[in-house]
Amino acid sequence: MQGVARNFFTLAIIYALFGMALGLSMSISQDHSQMPTHAHTMVAGWLMSAVFAFFYHLFPTAAGKMLATVHFWLTAVSGILLLAGLFLLLGGNASIEPLVALASMGFYAAMFLFAFIALPALWKRN
Judged against a pLDDT cut of 70, whether residue 126 lies above it is answered with no
Q: In this structure, are residues 73 and 38 in contact, taking their beta carbons and an 8 Å threshold?
A: no
Whether residue 93 is contained in a domain is answered as yes
Domain that holds residue 32: 3-119
pLDDT, tens only, 108-121: 999 999 999 999 99
- At 64 the pLDDT is 86
Whether residue 124 is contained in a domain is answered as no
Whether residue 100 is contained in a domain is answered as yes
Judged against a pLDDT cut of 80, whether residue 32 lies above it is answered with yes
- Nearest CA-CA partner of 104 in 73, 125, 74, 126: 74
Instruction: Note the pTM of the prediction, 2 decimals.
Output: 0.89
Whether residue 47 is contained in a domain is answered as yes
Count up the domains in the chain and report the number: 1
Judged against a pLDDT cut of 80, whether residue 6 lies above it is answered with yes
Whether residue 45 is contained in a domain is answered as yes
pLDDT, tens only, 33-74: 999 999 999 999 999 999 999 999 999 999 889 999 999 999
Q: In this structure, are residues 9 and 56 in contact, taking their beta carbons and an 8 Å threshold?
A: no
Whether residue 82 is contained in a domain is answered as yes
Whether residue 125 is contained in a domain is answered as no
Whether residue 39 is contained in a domain is answered as yes
> Would you call 1 exposed, middle or buried from its count of C-beta atoms within 10 A (0-12, 13-18, 19+)?
middle
DSSP 8-state symbol, 34: T
